[in-house]
Amino acid sequence: MQVGILLFDDVELLDMAGPYEVFTTASRVHARTQTAGADPLFTVTTLARSLAPVRARAGLQLTPDMTLADHPPLDCALVPGGAVTAELRQPQTLAWIAAQRQSARMLASVCTGSLLLAQAGVLDGLAATTHWEDLDELRALRPAVRVQGGVRWVDEGAVVTSAGISAGIDMSLHLVERLHSRDLARRTARQMDYDWQDAA
Amino acid sequence: MQVGILLFDDVELLDMAGPYEVFTTASRVHARTQTAGADPLFTVTTLARSLAPVRARAGLQLTPDMTLADHPPLDCALVPGGAVTAELRQPQTLAWIAAQRQSARMLASVCTGSLLLAQAGVLDGLAATTHWEDLDELRALRPAVRVQGGVRWVDEGAVVTSAGISAGIDMSLHLVERLHSRDLARRTARQMDYDWQDAA
């Protein structure tokens, strides 16, 4: 399965690194029960508008693997948050998100990534969450979104949104459960020495 | 205060991203209570043997800010883990760790990063921990280390080691408490929407 994680300038590092760690660790844990040389369960790539390095919010420089215009079809398209003001005005990013809503099996966001999903119009009529500090901003940005606080993530089937920063880890473990099994999600959390908050 | 995080090929992404997020978020939260333009509480830089990009264990390309030979004196030197077999044989890395034991206020490791600390000789006679899967390997590598399992981190004052992957977040919040205050550590965890496991 293909997992694509969006990168952009001022992305919050843990918003992308949490899901990246969950899906790549799930693959590694899963491989232990497979014959050597079997295909990985998840192939995780980072995607951006261009292949130029981006700077995470606090400065770390990350180099994307592929561009939004040229990547394999995704089973899971993942949109992290961070300081998203500039990205909210990027038509290419918003068009990509809207396209993933049609083509990817799942579209998920972490933290203020849900503002990007809302701006792209893919949350209209759905329940969604974001960082506790930004719930009102999400409501104001797109009144058609049914904003929920006090949850780790909201699963609307094809679209899943998580609360702030570290909640992306809990949501990603939930996505591993949906895409494979609860057993693998639990073993992945154990491998990450992580106390999975597995009640949505 | 200067925080330096070691990067190397096959570093586990969350091992470095967890502490990076904690210290940079602590700085951001702290800045809200300061006058505009005040110096940040923590300046976080990534350090490697050269300025060439490294590849995290699952492939993500990260570009270090500075080299091990040329960076400001550190208040906290942080050694993440990952697949460390190659790095255990790098004399420059081991010499840098030994030097930080003398010069930095604190030397800390995440996950299998403690194998690098042990190999550099800085854990002899001290209690330390690592990923639950690698406790025996740490014992075998350096019998003079008093290896402890079942804890999130072990604080020996100038040297602090954490358990696996996500435990680096809990340990880093503890280091924020030591370097500034428990209040800031708690507000940082809240900003990260993280349920801090604050009992060592």
**Chain B (116-145) residues lying within 8 Å, Cβ to Cβ, of chain A:** 131-133
The shortest C-alpha distance from B125 to chain A (Å) reads 26
- Position B168 scores a pLDDT of 96
Q: Which residues of A touch B132 (CB under 8 A)?
A: 193
CA distances from A89 to A95, A137, B88, B175 (A): 11, 16, 46, 38
Chain A nearest C-alpha distance from B65 (Å) = 8
Question: Is A76 known to be catalytic?
Answer: no
Q: Does B58 touch chain A (CB under 8 A)?
A: yes
Amino acid symbol at A133: E
Comparing CB atoms, the residue among B61, B166, B193 nearest residue A193 is B166
pLDDT of residue A200: 52
In whole numbers, what is the pLDDT of chain A averaged over residues?
96
pLDDT at B199: 60
- Asked if A83 has any chain B CB less than 8 Å from its own CB, the reply is no
Kindly state the percentage of chain A with pLDDT values over 90.
94
A87: pLDDT confidence band, cut at 50, 70 and 90?
very high
Instruction: Name the pairing type of β-strands A76-79 and A106-109.
Output: parallel
| pLDDT of amino acid B30 | 96
Beta strand A146-147 with A76-79: parallel, antiparallel or unpaired?
unpaired
Q: Which residues of chain B have pLDDT under 70?
A: 199-200
CATH match for B2-191 among 3.30.70.1060, 3.40.50.880, 3.90.1150.10, 3.40.190.10: 3.40.50.880
Asked if the C-beta of A31 comes within 8 angstroms of chain B's C-beta atoms, the answer is: no
**Residue B57 contacts A, CB cutoff 8 Å:** yes
* Beta carbons of A162 and A171 less than 8 angstroms apart: yes
Q: What is the ipTM of this complex?
A: 0.95
Q: Residue window 90-109, chain B: list those with CB within 8 Å of chain A.
A: none
Residue A197: pLDDT band with limits 50, 70, 90:
confident
CA A24-B185-B123 angle, to 5 degrees, is 65
Which of B106, B105, B93 lies closest to B159, judged by CA?
A: B106
Taking an 8 Å cut-off on Cβ atoms, the answer to whether A164 and B197 are in contact is no
Alpha helix positions (H), chain B: 13-31, 91-103, 113-119, 135-141, 167-179, 182-191
pLDDT at A38 over 60: yes
Give the Cα separation of A120 and A88 in Å (integer). 9
Chain A neighbors of B65, CB-CB under 8 A: 59
In sequence order, the β-bridge partners of residue A161 are A109, A154
- Which sequence positions of B are flagged as catalytic? 111
Asked if B191 lies within 8 A of A44 by C-beta distance, the reply is: no
Q: Measured between CB atoms, which of B60, B63, B164 is closest to A20?
A: B60
**Which of B7, B111, B114, B166 is the best mutation test for A, with the most CBs of A within 10 A?**
B166
What is the tally of helices (H) and strands (E) in chain A? 6, 11
- Reading the block at residue A82, the tokens are 């961070």
- Please report the pLDDT score of residue B37 as a whole number: 83
Residue A162, beta-bridge partner list: A153
Does A164 lie at the interface with B, CB-CB under 8 angstroms?
yes
Asked if A46 contacts A5 with a C-beta cutoff of 8 angstroms, the reply is yes
Mean pLDDT for chain B overall: 96
**Closest to A122 (Cα-Cα) out of A148, A97, A155:** A97
Q: Which of A18, A10, A6, A5 is nearest to A165 (CA)?
A: A18
Q: Which helix (H) or strand (E) holds B108?
A: strand B106-109
With bands split at pLDDT 50, 70 and 90, how would you rate the model's confidence at A24? very high
Predicted TM-score of the model (pTM): 0.96
